[in-house]
A = this chain, B = another copy of it.
Amino acid sequence: MQLRKNRIRFTRINHIFISHLHGDHCFGLMGLVSTLGLLGRTADLHIYGHEDLERIFQPQLNYFCRDMPYRIVFHAVNTSVSELVYEDHKVKVHSIPLKHRVPTCGYLFTEQPSDNHLIKEQMDFYQIPIKDIAGIKKGGDFITDDGVVVPNHLLTTPGPAPRSYAFCSDTKYTESIVPIIQDVDLLYHEATFLAGDEKLAAKTFHSSARQAAEIAKLANAKQLIIGHFSTRYKDLSLFEDEAVSVFANTAIAKEGCEFSVPLSTR
The residues of B that contact A59 with a CB separation of less than 8 Å are: 56, 59
Q: When chains A and B are docked, how far (Å) is the Cα of A127 from the Cα of B30?
A: 66
A176 within 8 A of B: no
Find out whether the CB atom of A27 lies under 8 angstroms from the CB atom of B21: no
A31 within 8 A of B: yes
A23 within 8 A of B: yes
The residues of B that contact A22 with a CB separation of less than 8 Å are: 64
Find out whether the CB atom of A27 lies under 8 angstroms from the CB atom of B34: yes
Find out whether the CB atom of A30 lies under 8 angstroms from the CB atom of B34: no
A6 within 8 A of B: no
Of A22, A23, A60, A64, chain B has the most CB atoms within 10 Å of the CB of A23
We find that the number of chain A residues with CB closer than 8 angstroms to chain B is: 13
The residues of B that contact A125 with a CB separation of less than 8 Å are: none
Q: Chain B residue with minimal CB distance to A63?
A: B56
A31 with B21: in contact, given A56-B59, A56-B60, A60-B56 (CB under 8 Å)? no
Q: When chains A and B are docked, how far (Å) is the Cα of A30 from the Cα of B34?
A: 16
Q: 14 extra interchain contacts, Cβ-Cβ under 8 A, other than A23-B34, A56-B60?
A: A21-B63, A21-B64, A22-B64, A23-B30, A23-B31, A23-B64, A27-B30, A27-B31, A27-B34, A52-B63, A56-B59, A56-B63, A59-B59, A60-B60
* Sampled A-B contacts (16; CB under 8 Å): A21-B63, A21-B64, A22-B64, A23-B30, A23-B31, A23-B34, A23-B64, A27-B30, A27-B31, A27-B34, A52-B63, A56-B59, A56-B60, A56-B63, A59-B59, A60-B60
